[in-house]
Each structure stands twice: as C-alpha cells, then as structure tokens.
C-alpha cells in the first residue's frame, strides 16, 4: 500500500469549542502511543475570529447594534513513519461531532 510508504502523516483538527478539541487530540495521541509510535503535537495554531455586527432594529436607531463572534480553534498532530496498526487505531476512534478532522500524507 502507498499509505505505508508515507514518511509523515499530518492530522489537522478544527472546532468551535476548545475543550472538545483537546479531548479529541488526547484520544488521537493515546491511539498513536498504543501503536508504539511517537507523535509531535498537538501544536496549537492561532484562533480564527469572525465577528458579525447586526442591527437590532432595521429601520431606526442605527446606533443600536449587537456584535457576535465565532472562534475557530485549530490543532496539528504530526506522525512520522506511520505503520498499519497506527491506521487501524485511528480508524477505530470515536471523535466528537463538533470536531473536523483532516488527514494528509506527506
């Protein structure tokens, strides 16, 4: 398989809530250590802030506004020289629904 020939596996995780993201990172790190490998991470990346300004009354009182923001937290985990057991352990993980996981081969 070409998956075994990959030198590095990068797992990037995104979530709106940081405690849920940290729990998912801990599950992934435990699965990697169970396969007998060491991993680099989780490396926290800068949090992305998206702010929205909404008028509370659309026809009058332009000064009355509400501000909302969405924070996107990101983490990266690198695995060097992954094995078949690493892939099996990662496939069997139960990650929370609010976490977006992306796996890339390098």
Q: How many residues does the chain have?
A: 106
DSSP letter string, 15-51 = ES-HHHHHHHHHHHHHHHHHTT--EEEEEEEEEEEEE
- The pLDDT of residue 1 is 42
Q: What is the pTM of this model?
A: 0.81
Task: Specify the 3-state DSSP secondary structure of 6.
Answer: coil
Taking only the tens place, the pLDDT of each residue in 47-65 is 999 999 999 888 888 888 9
- The ranges assigned to domains in the chain are 8-105
DSSP H or E run through 72: strand 65-80
Query: Cβ(77)–Cβ(40) under 8 Å?
Result: yes
Taking only the tens place, the pLDDT of each residue in 6-61 is 688 999 999 999 999 999 999 999 999 988 888 998 999 999 999 999 998 888 88
CATH fold of 8-105:
Alpha-Beta Plaits (3.30.70)
């Amino acid at each position: 398989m070409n998956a075994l020939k990959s030198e590095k596996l990068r797992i990037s995780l995104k979530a709106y809530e940081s405690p849920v993201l940290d729990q998912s990172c801990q599950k992934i790190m435990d699965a990697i250590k169970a396969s007998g490998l060491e991993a680099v991470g989780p490396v926290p990346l800068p949090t992305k802030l998206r702010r929205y300004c909404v008028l509370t009354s659309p026809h009058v009182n332009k000064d009355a506004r509400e501000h909302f923001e969405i924070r996107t937290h990101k983490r990266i985990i690198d695995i060097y020289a992954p094995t078949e057991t690493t892939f099996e352990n990662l496939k069997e993980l139960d990650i929370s629904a609010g976490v977006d996981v992306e796996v890339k081969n390098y």
